């Protein structure tokens, strides 16, 4: 209810904003997910400012996108979202003709954005952990799903119907895109048993900003690159680390898209051309400590970055990873029902 109230306030703010000001583009994006220096240079160059509206779950983003009066010009979506919202006519089709920067991205990356997005950043889902508390890095989803007693009320999970199910389904040896009732029931049993160890189901980047609980979080479900955001938030470089469990994980790709209803479509496309250039994509990847899908941008990165396993996962990790695929309506509904009950077991 709290999240939905926040979304309602955000929508009211956006609806109340003037749609006639081409000097501002509204970008719906994860928090701390674009280099502010890059954005500032764009504004200095063009006179067009970028108003960032942050979401902390796919559900929150999807609810905003579904409102026809949202005034969103640009949005960050995963590969499934690019296909889903693109096919619904919510996103503008992108090709070499209106976005020449796509030429720097390999066909397999472009295909994953379904013709409705610029490949932005890629990575994995894994375990974030406090290196001063957990001296031995976690190497299995078992460390999170069947945690040590000392981790009771010390874990931050993530109430997203896709990501939350990655640990239990990988531990069960099932597909992370499972739609069948048997797999989801088994995943529920693992999540239910884990619940007493969970401090919060808020995304850890959001939770770490709450002074009442930030010191109590010792382990979290999150994305590669989140460790750098967490260290910046707490002001302690190297405190938070990231590990990909041996069982495998979700290998994700985020795409940045232009909304079909944008009143400033040309300016939005120009912004994509700007951030999709090799220089901008490389600068953004360096700032966020995350991998860029741009082949041209990768050549501009230092060797130390390209060989960092926390940024560019080894081939053996990627070989065990799965991609996100469309879930059935039944599966999404079942997953949401499971999430809504987990608080009862904490």
- By percentage, how much of the chain surpasses pLDDT 90? 86
Domains of the chain with bracketed CATH: 2-122+252-313 (3.40.190.10), 123-250+321-345 (3.40.190.10)
Burial 98-112 (b: 16+ CB within 10 A, else e): ebebbebbeeebbeb
pLDDT beyond 80 at 10: no
pLDDT number for residue 8:
42
Instruction: Tell me which DSSP letter residue 6 carries.
Output: H
- The three-state secondary structure class of 70 is coil
The token pair at 263 is: 């009143």
Please give the share of the chain, as a percent, with pLDDT higher than 70: 94
CB 148 within 8 A of CB 196: no
DSSP string across 288-312: HT----BHHHHTTS-HHHHT-TTTS
If you search the block for the tokens 């396993």, which residue do you land on? 309
pLDDT tens for 178-226 read 999 999 999 999 999 999 999 999 999 999 999 999 999 999 999 999 9
Q: How many residues does the chain have?
A: 346
> CA 269, CA 290: separation in Å to the nearest integer?
23
Q: Which of 317, 256, 238 is nearest to 292 (CA)?
A: 256
pTM assigned to the model: 0.87
Structural tokens at position 236: 């302690």
Q: Does 172 score more than 80 pLDDT?
A: yes
Average pLDDT on 139-161 reads 96
Distance, CA of 120 to CA of 255 (rounded, Å): 5
């Amino acid at each position: 209810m709290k999240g939905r109230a926040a979304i309602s306030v955000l929508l009211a703010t956006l609806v109340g904003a003037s749609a006639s000001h081409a000097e501002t583009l509204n970008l719906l994006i994860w928090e701390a997910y674009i280099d502010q220096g890059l954005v500032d240079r764009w504004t200095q160059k063009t006179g067009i400012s970028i108003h960032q509206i942050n979401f902390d779950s796919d559900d929150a983003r999807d609810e905003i996108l579904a409102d026809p009066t949202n005034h969103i010009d640009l949005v960050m979506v995963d590969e499934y979202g690019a296909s889903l919202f693109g096919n619904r006519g919510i996103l503008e089709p992108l090709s070499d003709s209106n976005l020449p920067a796509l030429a720097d991205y390999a066909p397999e990356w472009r295909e994953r954005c379904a013709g409705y997005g610029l490949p932005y950043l890629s990575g994995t889902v894994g375990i974030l952990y406090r290196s001063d508390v957990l001296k031995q890095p976690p190497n299995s989803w078992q460390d999170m799903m069947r945690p040590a007693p000392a981790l009771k009320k010390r874990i931050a999970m993530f109430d997203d119907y896709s990501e939350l199910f990655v640990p239990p389904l990988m531990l069960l040896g099932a597909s992370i895109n499972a739609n069948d009732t048997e797999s989801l029931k088994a995943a529920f049993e693992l999540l239910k048993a884990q619940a007493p160890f969970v401090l919060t189901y808020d995304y850890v980047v959001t939770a770490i900003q709450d002074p009442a609980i930030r010191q109590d979080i010792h382990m979290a479900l999150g994305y590669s690159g989140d460790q750098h955001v967490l260290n910046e938030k707490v002001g302690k470089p190297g405190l938070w680390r990231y590990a990909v469990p041996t069982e495998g994980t979700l290998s994700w790709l985020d795409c940045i898209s232009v909304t079909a209803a944008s009143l400033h479509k040309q300016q939005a496309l120009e912004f994509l051309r700007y951030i999709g250039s090799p220089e901008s994509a490389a600068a953004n990847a360096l700032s966020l400590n995350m991998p860029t899908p741009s082949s041209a941008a990768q050549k501009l990165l230092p060797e130390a970055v390209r060989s960092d396993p926390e940024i560019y996962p080894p081939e053996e990790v990627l070989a065990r990873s799965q991609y996100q695929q469309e879930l059935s309506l039944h599966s999404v509904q079942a997953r949401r029902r499971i999430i809504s009950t987990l608080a009862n077991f904490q």
